[in-house]
Amino acid sequence: MNLWQTVIMSIVEGITEFLPISSTGHLMLTAKALGLTQTDFLKTFQISIQMGAILSVVLLYWRQLVVDFRVLARVMAAFIPTAILGVVFYKIIKTYLLASSTIVLWSLFLGGIALIVFELLHKEKGDAIDDLGSIPFGTSVLIGLFQAVAMIPGVSRSAATIVGGLALGLKRKTVVEFSFLLAVPTMVAATGLDLFKNASKFSLDQIGLLSVGFILSFISALLGVKFLLQFIKHHSFIPFGIYRIAVAVFCWLLMAAA
């Protein structure tokens, strides 16, 4: 893996991390397009550069994470299901799921259809929750269970939490921001676990590439977060569903033509 491949992968990660289109799926497809093989380092790289994206949320929402205990408590309650399931299924995810383009493409395709159908059927109630600190703890845990589905590459952690939150009665902006915040402990835990298990195997050059990826994903994620917050003011998530389907179909056509 060279510097330019690192730059491309990092920008893709940062831009897609908080959009409901699956950053992991896009990283896997981008790696395939760049001719990269799914080595242990590449798998760790794809997980680790998410930390840069997460830092952008910490920068933008540090008050909610540090000062507002009500919000932090709900975020941690939502994190518990993912933490438990992530530890249980870590080996399966790293060994099998993160190496399957087929799983990614089907997840993108079916997830796109689900996102469109959900948006067409969903009607936001007038009493929908609009305060992060007022989300019931039971609802927080259920949102965490929705997020856990995104352990399947291509599903999208953002899409799973957003759909779950909307279905459970949160306002659109509220659930998007909750999804941002929930990403912090989730990605910190995932990256920490992976680095703990694998960091000693990497060379100084590879650690340097991880550092470059961290910085670039942080910068591009800031842009992605600001874009999504502006986008949801006037649009539904249907365009993201259409995009997911289009990417999956395009990749299938390329594979068929190869």
DSSP assignment of 12-62 equals HHHHHTTSTT-HHHHHHHHHHHTT----HHHHHHHHHTHHHHHHHHHHHSH
Residue 19 pLDDT: 94
- For residues 94 and 230, the answer to whether their CB atoms sit within 8 Å is no
CA-CA-CA-CA dihedral for 220, 223, 225, 227, to nearest 10: -140
Of 8, 3, 10, the C-alpha closest to 52 is: 10
Q: What is the domain count for the chain?
A: 1
170, β-bridge pairs: 129
70: left (phi over 0), alpha (psi -120 to 50) or beta: alpha
Q: At residue 176, what are phi and psi to the nearest 5 degrees?
A: -65, -45
Confidence of residue 98 (pLDDT cuts 50, 70, 90): low
Q: What is the pTM of this model?
A: 0.85
pLDDT at 128: 92
Check residue 67 and report its DSSP letter.
Answer: T
Closest CA to 80 of 138, 159, 22, 158: 138
| pLDDT tens digit sequence for 107-146 | 999 999 999 999 999 988 888 999 999 999 999 999 999 9
End-to-end CA distance of the chain: 23
User: What's the pLDDT at 198?
Assistant: 67
Alpha helices in the chain (DSSP H): 3-16, 23-33, 40-48, 50-60, 62-66, 69-95, 101-121, 137-148, 157-167, 172-198, 204-231, 238-257
What is the C-alpha to C-alpha distance for residues 149 and 17, in angstroms, rounded to an integer? 16
Tell me the mean pLDDT in the region 87-116.
82
Beta carbons of 143 and 161 less than 8 angstroms apart = yes
pLDDT band at 97; cut points 50, 70, 90: low
What is the extent of the structural domain holding 9? 3-257
Residue 179 CA to residue 147 CA, distance in Å, equals 9
Which pLDDT value is given to residue 90?
Answer: 66
- Kind plus residue range of the DSSP H or E element containing 156: none
Q: What is the mean pLDDT of residues 141-163?
A: 91
Confidence of residue 96 (pLDDT cuts 50, 70, 90): low
C-alpha closest to that of 51 among 216, 233, 244: 216
* Structure-model confidence comparison of residues 101 and 159, the more confident one: 159
